[in-house]
Amino acid sequence: MDILIKPIAYVSNQIKKRKDDNWKNVVSIIKLNKDIPTSSISGLEKFSHLEVVFYFNKVRNSDINFGLRHPRNNTNYPKTGIFSQRASKRPNLIGVTIVKLLDIGNRNITVKGLDAIDGTPVIDLKPVMKEFLPLRKEIRQPLWAKELMKQYW
């Protein structure tokens, strides 16, 4: 079964090439497509954070990984399956990031901390509600993941 997904918006920022770290201070504008009514974002300004679902449109199909690999191709990290990583070269090329909402004006949603490059298609936006977050319990992750993420944000 094929699934057709149309972008609702595109990312606009100063990041033109993929990078691995230092996304914390990146400010991006999510520009709604003309066919998406502004009423669709009514009330979004009441939230402090958004979850942005986007499409890694710059990844070549030949680079997609379905199996084991070293995270960031760093042999100091153990080989793990692609679904044990947050890499961009994943089967359906979908990225998800929680960002800080800075401003909403007309068709533009300004956010901070979105790890997507300029021109990235946005598939969906969702408000972050604390009841959906797992902070009620301890987060478990391997040591390599903590090491890898040191400079990400």
Residue-wise pLDDT tens digits, 70-129: 998 899 999 999 999 999 999 999 999 999 999 999 899 999 999 999 999 999 999 999
Q: What is the pLDDT of residue 146?
A: 87
Per domain, the residue ranges of the chain are 9-130+137-148
CATH annotation of 9-130+137-148: 2.40.30.70
Q: Give me 32's structure tokens.
A: 């709604």
- Which residues, in sequence order, are bridge partners of residue 9? 32, 122
